Amino acid sequence: MKEFRNKLIVHGLMKINDKYLVIKRSIIKRGKPNVYPEYWDIPGGSVEDFETPVEALIREAKEEVNLDVEVKQIIHEDSNFDKGKNTMFTRLVYICTLKNTNDYIIQLDPEEHSEYRLISSLDEMSDEKFVPFLIDILSNKNL
């Protein structure tokens, strides 16, 4: 039997000039079919060994969208068990702000994402597909 594992994932809801950054997942990620291809998501990824969730999110924001961010409070947590991988995936989502709001360039990692948008609400992209957890977050009127 496979060894049971816990995997921690972090994401950042990045607020830029009163809008939220969303990024479209690529079809192929590093030579393999991507999970949720062509769905809109927010920057994030796995917490590596000896890394805190905040450190991981700062690293992922730089790698995925070339942004230097300040990580604020946690706004969402969910966990899902993947039987095939015998792994419990736990996701933490934080609000993030830019360290420099006047001088930034969003630059995507083309291996992971194909485009980005700044939106105020999901209504602006009603015909698009979003990863499930993001729908819950962006539907929250308290953000």
What confidence tens digit (pLDDT) does each residue in 9-20 have?
Answer: 999 999 998 999
Model pTM score: 0.92
pLDDT above 80 for 141: no
The percent of the chain in helix, strand and coil, each rounded to the nearest 5, is 15, 45, 40
Residue linked to tokens 């993947």: 82
User: Radius of gyration of the chain from Cα atoms?
Assistant: 15
Q: What is the pLDDT of residues 35-87, one digit of tens each?
A: 899 999 999 999 999 999 999 999 999 999 999 999 999 999 999 999 999 99
Domains of the chain: 5-139 (3.90.79.10)
Could you give phi then psi for residue 14, rounded to 5 degrees?
A: -95, 120
DSSP 8-state class, residue 12: E
CB burial of residue 116 (10 Å; 0-12, 13-18, 19+): middle
Per-residue H/E/C for 113-141:
EEEEEEECCHHHHCCCCECHHHHHHHHCC
Task: State pLDDT tens for residues 88-138.
Answer: 999 999 999 999 888 889 999 999 999 999 999 888 998 999 999 999 898
Phi, psi of 127 (to 5 degrees): -95, 5
Q: Which of helix, strand or coil describes residue 88?
A: strand
